[in-house]
Amino acid sequence: MVGYNILDDVEKGKEVEFMSYSRAKNIVSVFTAVVAMLWPIAFYFFRLGFDNSGGTSLVSLLNIVFLSWFILLLPDNIRRFRQFIGINLKESWLNSDACVSLSGLILVVVAGLGVAFLGINTLLLFVVIGAVFFLLSLKEFILNVSLRQSLMILVILLVYSLWLITMFWSVHMGPLFIEGILIGQGQIDPLFHSALAGMLKIFNIASTGLNGIPYIGYHFGSHWIFAQLSFLLRIPLLTFYQIGFPIIFIPLFIQSMLFLALDIRKHILPQGIKDNFQLDFKFWGIFLITQIGFLPKVVYGWLGSSVVARYASESYTLAIIFSLLLMALCIDFWGRGPAAKLRVKDKLFLILIVPFLIGLITWSKISVGILIIVLAAYLFLRLKLYKKIIFAIGFIASLLVFGVIFLLISKILFVYNPSGATISISLFDNIRGKQFYILPFYFLLYYFIAFVFIILRLYRAGIDTWDKLRSQFLQNKLIDVETLVVLCFVGFLPGALIFLPSGGAGYFSDYQGVIAAILLLAYLPIFWPKNIRINIVLKIALIFVVLPFVVAMLFNVFAFTYRILRDNIDIRIAILSETESVSGSKSIASLYSADKLQKAMENNKRYPLLQALRKLNGLPLEEKRRSLVFVSHKDTLFWTTLAKQKGLPFLVPALTGMAMIDGVPLLENVYYREYGFNLYQLRKKPQTAADRKIGNLLSKVREKGFSQLILLNAESGEIKKYE
C-alpha cells in the first residue's frame, strides 16, 4: 500500500527493526576505506610492464592509502574509543563526525607544512595509526554485519569502484599519463593544475611559472592543500594529482555524502523514525544510480551535465567536501533546537568556524562558494536569524570572508582574442546549444533527482493543496525542499545569463544534484519504509520503472571500463611501434613485457626530455627557488611535444616544480581563453638570437629576483647551469 507510514506502526507500539547510527557509520567508513584500497591495485594493473619506482612505488602508494585511512576512519575510531572508555558527551557540533573529519584533514595538511618549514616529517605516525584504524574498523564491521549483507555491500562496492576508477582515469590523467608524453599525448588540465600547485609548493605564490612567477587570480585552495600533502608524502605533485587525490579525497567525498545523509536522518527526521539507519539494498541501489547515472553517459554529454566533474575536478570535489562538512556541522549545531541557549563554543562556531569554512569553500571553487553564500543569505533572512545579534555577526563575518577571497581569486582573465573577456553576457547559453530532441526534456532530466525528492517529500507530508503547502512553509517545515529549490534556481542562473568558458556553468548547476541525492538517501525510511506493503502488481511496475535505470547504469560502467582499457593498450602499442611491429600471436605478451617497453621508451626521441625533467625535479628545494629554466624556441622537439594539446608550456613547471624564463609559447599555439596565458606577453614571433644569449637571459633572470639560469636541451636531455 503506497500510503503506508512507518510512524503508524511506531505509534501502535509495533516493533520496528533499526540499525544503530554508529553501526551505519562504521559500514560507510569501511566501504570508503576499501574504495581507497582498490585504487593502487587498479593502478598497478594498468601499469604492468612499466617502471614503478619513486612516487609510484609500492611503498609510496601504501603511504597514500594509510594516510587516507587515517582521515576516513578517524571519526569511526574516535566514536569507538569514547564508547570503550564510557565517555558520554552531550551532542554538539564540536564532537560531531564532521568536526572530527575536518580536524583530521587539517592535521595532515599542518603536518605537510611541518615538512616544508621545519623539515620534520611525521608521515610514519599517520601511516601506523591509519593501519590500526583500519583493522579496528574492519573488526567491528565483521562482528556486526551479516554475511548476506556483507556480500551485498561487496557487490555494490566492486561495481561502484569499477565505474569510479575507470571513469576518473578515462576523463582525467590515466596511469600512463607520463608515458603518454613520449607519444605526444597529454591533457592541458593536469599539467596546468600541477604547474600551479608546484609554484605554490616551491614559492608559496599562485602562478603557472612560464615567465617568472606572476600571480594568477584563480581558486587555488585545492592546489595549496595538495602542495602540502605532496611534501608530507614525498611524491611529485603530478603523481599526487594522478593517484594521491583519488585515493584520499574521492573516498572522503563519498563518506561526506553518506555521513550527511545519516546525520539528516538523526537530527531532522521525525521522532520514531529518525533512528532508522538501515543501509539495505534500496539505500545502496539509489546511491549507485544517483552517482553512476540513470541515463547513458552520452545523454549526460548532451545535457552538459557535470556529474563526472564531481569526481574528476579536484577543486570542485574539495569544495563539495567542505560544503558537506559545513552542512553536517550546521545540522549538529541546530540539533539541540533553535530555542536552546547558545554556549561559548556555539558562538565561536557562528563567528569563526562558519566564516572559515565558507572562505575555504570559495578558495577551493568559487562557484560552490557563491552557491553556499547565497543559500546562507536565504536561510538567514528566511529564518529571521538577524533578530539574534550573534547570528548577525556570524553572517556578516561570512560575507566579509567571502568577499575578500572572491576579490582575491576572481580576477577575470583576458587573452589575445577578438572578443576579449572570457566571461560575457549570453542569455541561456547553457541550453541554446543542446540538441533539439533534448530541449523539451532538459529540465526534467537535468533536475530529475531534485524533482523526485521534492515530489516524494511533499507527498509524504500530505501536501496536496496550496493551502497545505503555504501552511507547512510558514511553519518552516519544508526548509529541506526550500534549500534544494534555491540551489536549483541559483545554480541555473549563471549559465542562463552569461557565457562561462570550460563548462563553468556546470559547476553551478550540477551542485543541486549532489544535495538532491543526499536528501533522497536521508529520507528513504519515509519514502520507502522497510515494512511497506506492496502488492504483486506494484512490484512488477516498479521493476519495469527501475530496470531501464539499472541498464543505463551498467552501460556507463562498461563504457568507461572499455575506454580506459582501449586507451591503455593504444599507448602501449604507440610506444612499442616505434621500435618493432606489434602484431601476431606475440603481440599481447609484447604489450606487457617490461624489457621491451623499457627498451622502446629509451629509444624514443622524447625520452631524454623526460629524464632531464626528472633530474630537475630532484634538485634541492633551495636551488629550485633561485633558478629559472629556459628552453629555446629552436628546440623544436620540446615545443612540438604536446602541440596538439596546447599544454606543452606547462610541462616544465608541472613535472619539476620549477619556473621558467621566457617559457611562453607563440601566439599561434594558444587558442585557450583560460589558463592564465594573459599574464604573459604572448609572442607573435620566435625568440631572436639576442633573446637566446646567456648574458641577456641572466639579466632577465636577475630582474625577476632569481640568481641561476638553467638551460634545458630537450633533444639531448642536457642541462646547463649559469649564475
| Cell representation of residue 339 | 530555542
Per the CB < 8 A criterion, the answer to whether 329 and 98 are in contact is yes
Checking if the pLDDT of 528 tops 90, the result is no
Quote the pLDDT of residue 543.
77
Q: What is the pLDDT of residue 511?
A: 95
When pLDDT is averaged across residues 86-98 and rounded to a whole number, the result is 83
The pLDDT score that the predictor gives to residue 421 is 41
Range of 208-217, 249-258, 537-546 with top mean pLDDT: 249-258
Helices (H) and strands (E) in the chain, counts: 35, 6
Angle formed at CA 26 by CA 24 and CA 28, multiple of 5 degrees: 75
What confidence tier does 338 reach under pLDDT thresholds 50, 70, 90? Answer: low
Mean pLDDT for 44-57 is 90
User: From residue 241, how far is each of 77, 186, 328, 699 by CA, in Å?
Assistant: 28, 14, 27, 35
Q: What pLDDT sits at residue 4? A: 37
Judge whether 531 and 9 are in contact, CB under 8 Å. Answer: yes
Contact partners, residue 347, CB within 8 Å, separation at least 6: 390
Residue 247 scores a pLDDT above 70: yes
Q: Residue 631 pLDDT > 60, yes or no?
A: yes
pLDDT at 423: 56
- Compute φ and ψ for 23, nearest 5 degrees: -65, -40
What is the Cα–Cα distance from 123 to 626, expressed in whole angstroms? 28
Spatial distance between the Cα atoms of 579 and 581, rounded to a whole number of angstroms? 7
Q: What is the pLDDT of residue 335?
A: 74
The answer to whether residue 418 scores a pLDDT higher than 60 is no
Judge whether 447 and 520 are in contact, CB under 8 Å.
no
The label of the residue with cell 591509519 reads: 130
Mean predicted confidence (pLDDT) in 52-81: 94
For position 410, what pLDDT does the model report?
Answer: 73
Q: Which helix (H) or strand (E) holds 225?
A: helix 221-233
- pLDDT bucket at 127, cuts 50 / 70 / 90: very high
Query: Does the pLDDT value for residue 15 go beyond 50?
Result: no
pLDDT of residue 649: 74
CB 523 within 8 A of CB 534: no
Non-local (6+) Cβ contacts of 435 within 8 A are: 302
Strand duo 498-499 + 659-660: pairing: unpaired
* 294 CB-near residues (< 8 Å, 6+ apart): 448, 549, 552, 553
Q: How many Å apart are CA 657 and CA 664, to the nearest integer?
A: 16
Contacts of 3 (CB under 8 A, 6+ apart): none
- What is the per-residue pLDDT across 482-496, written as a single tens digit (0 to 9) for each? 999 999 999 999 888
Average pLDDT over residues 238-244: 94
Say how many Å lie between the first and final Cα of the chain, rounded.
Answer: 82
pLDDT value at 139 more than 90:
yes
The Cα 674–Cα 411 span in angstroms is 12
d(Cα 453, Cα 447) in Å, to the nearest integer? 10
How many C-beta atoms surround the C-beta of residue 576 within 10 A?
Answer: 20
Q: Write out the three cell numbers for 622.
A: 633551495
CA distances from 128 to 79, 138, 477 (A): 19, 16, 46
Is the confidence at residue 507, as pLDDT, over 60? yes
- pLDDT > 70? residue 28: yes
pLDDT value, residue 184:
81
Which residue did the predictor score with more confidence, 343 or 537? 343
CA dihedral angle for residue 482, residue 485, residue 486, residue 488, rounded to 10 degrees: 160
Tell me what the pLDDT averaged over the chain comes to: 86
Handedness of CA 635, 638, 644, 645 (dihedral sign): negative
CA angle in degrees (0–180, nearest 5) for 555-557-560 = 105
What is residue 217's DSSP assignment? -
Amino acid identity for residue 363 in this structure: W
DSSP 414: B
Among 7-16, 82-91, 286-295, 441-450, the range scoring the smallest mean pLDDT is: 7-16
Q: What is the pLDDT of residue 387?
A: 92
Range with lowest mean pLDDT among 469-473, 515-519, 551-555: 551-555
- Other CB atoms within a 10 A radius of the CB of residue 646 amount to 16
- Separation CA 369–CA 676 (nearest Å): 21
pLDDT computed for residue 629 by the predictor: 95
Q: Is the pLDDT of residue 585 over 50?
A: no
Please tell me the predicted confidence (pLDDT) of residue 9: 41
Q: Between 299 and 211, whose confidence is greater?
A: 211
What's the mean pLDDT in 56-68? 95
Query: pLDDT tens digit string along 647-691?
Result: 567 889 999 999 999 888 877 666 555 677 777 877 778 888 888
Residue recorded with cell 608546484: 198
Summarised one tens digit per residue, pLDDT across range 389-407 is 999 999 999 999 999 999 8
Can you tell me the distance from the alpha carbon of 312 to that of 332, in angstroms, rounded to the nearest whole number? 30
Distance between CA 674 and CA 678 in Å, rounded? 8
Q: Which of 308, 328, 205 is nearest to 255 (CA)?
A: 328
Q: Smallest Cα–Cα separation from 609: which of 136, 183, 256, 23?
A: 183
DSSP H or E run through 721: strand 719-722
- Report percent pLDDT > 70 for the chain: 87
Average pLDDT value for residue range 170-197? 87
Mean pLDDT of 260-280: 81
CA–CA distance, 716 with 632 (Å, rounded to integer):
13
More confident residue, 419 or 447: 447
Task: Report the pLDDT value the prediction gives residue 617, as an integer from 0 to 100.
Answer: 93
pLDDT band, residue 86 (cuts 50/70/90): confident
Secondary structure element (H or E) that encloses residue 424, with its range = strand 424-425
DSSP state of 643: G
pTM confidence score: 0.91
- Kindly state the cell numbers that stand for 3: 500510503
Position 416 pLDDT exceeds 80 = no
Tell me the chain's radius of gyration from C-alpha atoms. 27
Model pLDDT, residue 363: 95
